[in-house]
């Protein structure tokens, strides 16, 4: 089997799906890309058993065939080659691969393609269409708040509930919760799934910059995403998601309105002086002024700043983990935000002052106990 392909075009496709491949996989053959040639098209598959990504590229080829190619050595070779046509010659009996370029010749050993695990199909499922821009926004708004706690697997993914009127994306790690709704992604059937963080991170990295349509099919066990010439299938998290609606307070009527960028910049500066274990910052809202402060008693470090804001409610002092606030504000694009509070020991809500058409974003963050209230 022989085919010719441009080195840079092949490298781009391999880099798109290489994130799936793990070091020391369960099955050694998963350290390889699966190459399949048919009708002048090279189909490349990468998998870790939980998630598989498939991409296609046009090549010059007269034969059909397949082989598993070692991922790392192939990527390292292509990264260091200038753009040029390269010829792959594959012996399907011995699984040896020879790559010929203008610069020279490289030989490596492949493996039998039939040993590569089969990619599952989504059958008897449901489907929904959405734009890549919409999906990218939903992933960016939620994925950072997923949990790393493998003892609570449901919280290591993003919960997606698709209904007739809207779709809701939810992520939580127990300290903060993000709820993002879209009224322009709907389905005739109400279905809820939990998509693993790794799969969404991979999607985030390969979704096209230009807005295009993404087809999503899913059943109880797998979800299948398809756009342009890339396909991804992932195993869903089969767990019950926490009842997040009951956590969101309905009576946070102590409301501060503030410029998001100014608030974020101030938090980044003040956090430098916070205790590195707790990352605790204190917010003191009095009238139309917000005072942000932090101290690290172990090193005698302290800092405080004052910002002007609009405030409707009683004066309040509350503590938060600066890292959580910074991450949440960094993942918003709105110029102004509401910080909705009730008491110093109750969850705070961060909501954009103005939301885009068809979207509704709410971020919840739990407070931390302050060392003092001075």
The string of DSSP letters for 256-319 reads EEEEHHHHHHHHHHHHTTS-TTT-EEEEEEETTEEEEEEEETTTTEEEEEEEE-EEES--EEEE
In a domain? residue 205: yes
**Co-location of 12 and 67 in the same domain:** yes
At 273, the pLDDT band (50, 70, 90 cuts) reads very high
At 165, the pLDDT band (50, 70, 90 cuts) reads confident
At 372, the pLDDT band (50, 70, 90 cuts) reads low
DSSP 60: E
Average predicted confidence (pLDDT) for the chain: 94
In a domain? residue 94: yes
pLDDT (0 to 100) of residue 52:
97
At 122, the pLDDT band (50, 70, 90 cuts) reads confident
Angle, alpha carbons 117-22-90 (nearest 5°): 55
In a domain? residue 137: yes
pLDDT (0 to 100) of residue 296:
92
**Co-location of 299 and 358 in the same domain:** yes
pLDDT (0 to 100) of residue 374:
44
Q: Which residues contact 114 (CB under 8 A, 6 or more apart)?
A: none
Quick count: other Cβ atoms within 10 Å of Cβ 80? 9
CA 75 to chain centre: 24
In a domain? residue 20: yes
DSSP 298: T
- Residue among 138, 121, 120 at smallest CA distance from 207: 138
**Co-location of 38 and 100 in the same domain:** yes
In a domain? residue 373: no
Instruction: Answer whether residue 207 shows pLDDT above 50.
Output: yes
**Co-location of 287 and 238 in the same domain:** no
Range of the domain at 55: 2-115
Per DSSP (E only), the strands in 228-270 are 230-235, 254-259
Could you tell me the CA-to-CA distances from 198 to 28, 45, 118, 129, 292 in Å, in that order?
20, 17, 20, 21, 35
In a domain? residue 178: no
Q: Based on the structure, what is the number of domains in the chain? A: 3
Give the residue ranges of DSSP H helices in the chain: 7-17, 71-79, 132-142, 197-206, 260-271, 322-330
In angstroms, the CA 67 to CA 70 distance is 10
At 189, the pLDDT band (50, 70, 90 cuts) reads confident
Instruction: Answer whether residue 371 shows pLDDT above 80.
Output: no
CATH of the domain at 313: 3.10.150.10
pLDDT for 216-234, tens place per residue? 999 989 999 999 889 999 9
More confident residue, 174 or 210: 174
- Residue among 306, 368, 373 at smallest CA distance from 176: 368
**Co-location of 221 and 324 in the same domain:** no
- List, edge to edge, every strand of the sheet that includes 280-286: 301-308, 289-296, 280-286, 316-321
**Co-location of 230 and 263 in the same domain:** no
pLDDT (0 to 100) of residue 201:
96
107, 124 in Cβ contact below 8 A? no
CA 149 to chain centre: 17
**Co-location of 268 and 361 in the same domain:** yes
**Co-location of 328 and 235 in the same domain:** no
Q: What percentage of the chain reaches a pLDDT higher than 90?
A: 85
At 272, the pLDDT band (50, 70, 90 cuts) reads very high
pLDDT for 331-366, tens place per residue? 999 999 999 999 999 999 999 999 888 899 999 999
Q: At what angle do helices 71-79 and 7-17 cross, to 10 degrees?
A: 140
In angstroms, the CA 161 to CA 280 distance is 34
pLDDT (0 to 100) of residue 75:
97
In angstroms, the CA 46 to CA 59 distance is 19
**Co-location of 140 and 105 in the same domain:** no
Instruction: Answer whether residue 212 shows pLDDT above 60.
Output: yes
**Co-location of 225 and 269 in the same domain:** no
Domain boundary (208, 242, 276) is at: 242
Average pLDDT over residues 157-174: 94
In a domain? residue 138: yes
**Co-location of 297 and 222 in the same domain:** no
Average pLDDT over residues 7-23: 95
Instruction: Answer whether residue 373 shows pLDDT above 70.
Output: no
In a domain? residue 303: yes
**Co-location of 292 and 212 in the same domain:** no
Domain boundary (242, 259, 284) is at: 242
């Amino acid at each position: 089997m022989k085919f010719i392909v441009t080195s840079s075009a092949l490298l781009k496709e391999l880099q798109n799906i290489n994130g799936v491949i793990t070091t020391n996989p369960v099955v050694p053959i998963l350290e390889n890309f699966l190459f399949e040639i048919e009708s002048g098209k090279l189909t490349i598959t990468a998998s870790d058993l939980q998630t598989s990504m498939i991409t296609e590229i046009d090549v010059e080829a007269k034969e059909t065939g397949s082989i598993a190619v070692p991922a790392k050595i192939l990527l390292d070779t292509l990264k260091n080659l200038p753009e040029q046509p390269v010829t792959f010659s594959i012996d399907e009996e011995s699984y040896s691969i020879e790559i010929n370029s203008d610069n020279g010749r490289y030989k490596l050993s492949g493996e039998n393609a039939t040993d590569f695990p089969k990619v599952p199909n989504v059958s008897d499922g449901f489907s929904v269409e959405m734009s890549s821009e919409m999906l990218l926004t939903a992933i960016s708004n939620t994925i950072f708040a997923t949990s790393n706690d493998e003892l609570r697997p449901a919280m290591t993914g993003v919960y997606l509930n698709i209904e007739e009127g809207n779709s809701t994306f939810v992520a939580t790690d127990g300290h903060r919760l993000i709820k993002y709704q879209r009224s322009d992604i709907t389905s005739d059937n109400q279905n809820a799934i939990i998509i693993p963080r790794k799969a969404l991170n991979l999607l985030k990295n390969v979704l096209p910059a230009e807005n295009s349509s993404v087809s999503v099919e899913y059943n109880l066990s797998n979800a299948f995403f398809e756009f342009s010439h890339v396909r991804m299938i992932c195993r869903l998290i089969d767990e019950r998601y926490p009842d997040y609606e009951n956590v969101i307070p309905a009576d946070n009527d102590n409301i501060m309105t503030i410029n998001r960028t100014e608030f974020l910049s101030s938090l980044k500066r003040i956090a430098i002086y916070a205790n590195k274990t707790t990352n605790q910052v204190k917010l003191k809202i009095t009238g139309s002024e917000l005072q942000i402060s932090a101290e690290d008693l172990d090193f005698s470090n302290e800092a405080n700043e004052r910002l002007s804001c609009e405030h409707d409610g009683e004066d309040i002092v509350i503590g938060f983990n600066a890292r959580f606030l910074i991450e949440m504000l960094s993942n918003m694009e709105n110029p102004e935000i509401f910080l909705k509070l009730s008491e110093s020991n109750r969850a705070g809500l961060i909501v954009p002052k103005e939301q885009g058409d068809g979207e509704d974003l709410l971020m919840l963050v739990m407070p931390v106990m302050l060392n003092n209230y001075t």
